[in-house]
Amino acid sequence: MHRLYPLLILAVLILVGCFSSPASSTTSASAPANLDFSTTRLSEAGRYRVSFTSELNPIAINRLHTWTLHVETPDGAPVENAVIQVHGDMPEHRHGMPTAPKVTQYLGDGNYRVEGMRFQMGGWWEVVFEIEANGEKDRVVFNLLLR
């Protein structure tokens, strides 16, 4: 009888597979693999270490909300008086955000209030901050995967 054990196990496995019917997948954003979704990133030329926090967590679509951006040098000194532009795009779609967000206030300690954030669909977003401080320009890109 012991020779029949593998067969029994196979039959059971097939049945189990059958009863847990497949949950078909939704076509969500087919973002490239290995995207960095971290909320702290070094700017492209390495001038600033930048992080964001959102007052909405998780970030929901179709809701106007505010972010706080923290900008510091790679060795941790807060960056004051930066001029910051922000925009967002869906790389897989031919459109950006439904709003034009703005940095509206410097909060001290390298923190900036970013008002007017809104995303109108789920999927992969890139949020780009162009930062200029003390004559030095750099940009940082955050990836988001929204539902």
Summarize as ranges the residues that interact with other proteins (CB under 8 A): 1, 3-4, 7-8, 10-11, 14-15, 18-19, 21-28, 61-62, 64, 93-102, 115-116, 118, 120-123, 147
Cβ neighbors of 114 (< 8 A, separation 6 or more) are 52, 66, 67, 68, 69, 84, 86, 101, 102, 103, 104
Residue closer to other proteins (CB basis): 9 or 42: 9
b/e code 10-22 from CB counts within 10 Å (16+ = b): eeeeeeeeeeeee
Residue closer to other proteins (CB basis): 26 or 57: 26
Residue closer to other proteins (CB basis): 116 or 143: 116
User: Interface residues with Cu ion (CB under 5 A)?
Assistant: 90, 93, 121
